[in-house]
Amino acid sequence: MSTAHTPDTQDAPLHTIDLIRKKRDGHTLDAREIAFLVSGAAAGSIPLEQLSAWLMAAWLRGLSLEEIRALTLAMRDSGDKFDPSRLGKTAVDKHSTGGVGDKTSFLVAPMAAACGVAVPMISGRALGHTGGTLDKLESIPGYRTALSLAEFETVLAHCGVSIVSQTPSLVPADRVLYALRDRTGTVESPGLICASILSKKLAAGLDALVLDVKTGSGAFLSKREDAEYLAALMVSTAEAAGTRTVALLTDMGQPLGRAAGNWIEIMECLELLHGKTPAESEDLRELSLTLAGWMIFLGGKAESETKGRQLAEATLEDGSALAVFTKMVEAQGGDSGIFSDPQAFHKPGASKVVNAWETGFIAEMDTTELGWAVQRTGAGREKAGEPVDAHAGIVFHARCEDFVKKGQPMATIFATTEAQLAEPISLLRKAITIAEEPPQPVPLVGRIFTREKAEAFLRDAVR
């Protein structure tokens, strides 16, 4: 096997083909080489087929800690950066590694903002089998996700929170690589996930960050040990870059809450923001309160995460989180008029109730397959840049451990057309196992990684 050419001086010219071959052959790239690839991705000077080849080589060979840190910083620096200091508040955010029905952003961001922290949130679109915060928000007519930095600051100053996308000037390298990973089967890599998430978070100039690292059948890294490595990696990388960070390992062994799609997820959050406590959304409410509690604590507005959680809960009960969310939607051009009757706005092209095909306990959900089922309703895209259907998705009527009787409704599928109902139904039936015995319960929140724990974990992992 040939060995890639390695330039021997620091100012020797770099060539993308050499860097692809170097990674393909299992070698480590230095910070200059990584910065070359990242700036080429952001500027559009490296063709997509070469970036794809390098991503696949990185996915297959893995990235060293040094490569991951260099990639994260180069991606952070690929465009303009936001400086939240003018807001006069501590800037704190939350980011999830991705899941199905994972909609906590629409709750935690307004709860934390209502408690006095600034939440400058740069988010992503649907990735692989998981939904995207931006696609869900864009189901609100008029909502603009691509704001300039000046607009981002204005919305933050007015509302305390703004949820926006990467743009050609804000983390442009992630904008390109994120969409490319989605189409090239290169999402599930700890290093690429870490760099993608942290480049956005560090470009937002955050003082503190709460990471929701998913584990279980619907997570990109479904094995607990892999998710723990990702959590430790992200905490230590963000802390080294100066952002106080905590990561919570949380269960994605089933969809979070009851809805997975676009508008139907916003609808579920509006109910919670109105102070309602539906049983089917209890895990969503619980996790959102826990994450918001940490954000409020790290933002200096509570003396502990438990106290932060109490403050967060009060914002759901007194309507202040709903007021913040509504104000942000309006400030970003969205029509909040539809919030007064969310159900009336929901106009799916076709729908079908899927009933239990057996009597027994819901023993297992293959949540990645359920995520693909949601995507095939029309709620996700097949190709980059395609529009998504605001009204498509799946509402689940039963959860893991529930006892169901044959014929009882298990889920309602909302698709763009009648023809798009069959595939999600068949995927759903394959993904859900009904058995005689209930499964072992899985805790919603598992291990918590602070800087010290992350560093100890990485030391042991390297040894």
Q: C-beta of 461: minimal distance to ligand URA in Å?
A: 20
Q: Which is nearer to ligand URA, 190 or 308 (CB)?
A: 190
318 belongs to the catalytic site: no
Task: By CB under 6 A, tell whether 104 contacts ligand URA.
Answer: no
Annotated active-site residue in 103, 181, 381, 391: 181
Binding letters toward ligand URA, positions 108-147, x by CB under 6 A: ----------------x--x--------------------
> Beta partners for 396?
411
Q: Which residue has the tokens 């809805």?
A: 259
Shortest separation between residue 219's beta carbon and ligand URA, angstroms: 10
When the beta carbons of 40 and 191 are compared against ligand URA, the nearer one is 191
Residue 80 annotated as catalytic:
no
Q: Is 415 helix (H, G, I), strand (E, B) or coil?
A: strand
Catalytic annotation, pick one of 76, 94, 129, 200: 200
174 assigned to active site:
yes
CA 254 to chain centre: 16
200 is catalytic: yes
* Helices and strands counted in the chain (H then E): 18, 13
Q: What are the phi and psi torsion angles at 434 (to 5°)? A: -105, 130
Positions in 152-211 near ligand URA (CB under 6 A): 193, 196-197
Instruction: Supply the minimum distance, in Å, between the C-beta of residue 24 and ligand URA.
Output: 21
Residue 252 interacting with ligand URA (CB under 6 A): no
Please state, in angstroms and rounded to a whole number, the distance separating the CA atoms of residues 23 and 29: 7
Taking CB under 6 A as the criterion, the residue among 97, 217, 250, 377 binding ligand URA is 97
Q: From its phi and psi, is residue 394 left (phi > 0), alpha (psi between -120 and 50) or beta?
A: beta
Beta strand 119-123 with 161-165 is: parallel
Q: Which is nearer to ligand URA, 193 or 329 (CB)?
A: 193
Considering 23, 69, 76, 95, which one is annotated as catalytic?
A: 95
Residue with nearest beta carbon to ligand URA = 196
Q: Which of residues 377-416 bind ligand URA (CB under 6 A)?
A: none
Task: Given the residues 196, 199, 222, 288, select the one marked as catalytic.
Answer: 196
End-to-end CA distance of the chain: 29
Query: 65-76 and 190-203 are packed helices; what angle lies between their axes, rounded to 10 degrees?
Result: 30
Question: Should residue 98 be labelled a site residue for ligand URA when binding is judged by CB under 6 A?
Answer: yes
> Residue 199 Cβ, how far from ligand URA at the closest point, in Å?
9
Nearest by Cα to 291 from 250, 258, 321, 320 = 250
Q: Is 89 a catalytic residue?
A: no
Q: Is 409 helix (H, G, I), strand (E, B) or coil?
A: strand
DSSP state of 211: E
H or E element in which residue 56 lies: helix 48-61
Task: Tell me the two tokens of residue 105.
Answer: 């952003």
Residue numbers of the site for ligand URA (CB under 6 A)? 97-98, 124, 127, 193, 196-197
Active site residues: 95, 174, 181, 196, 200
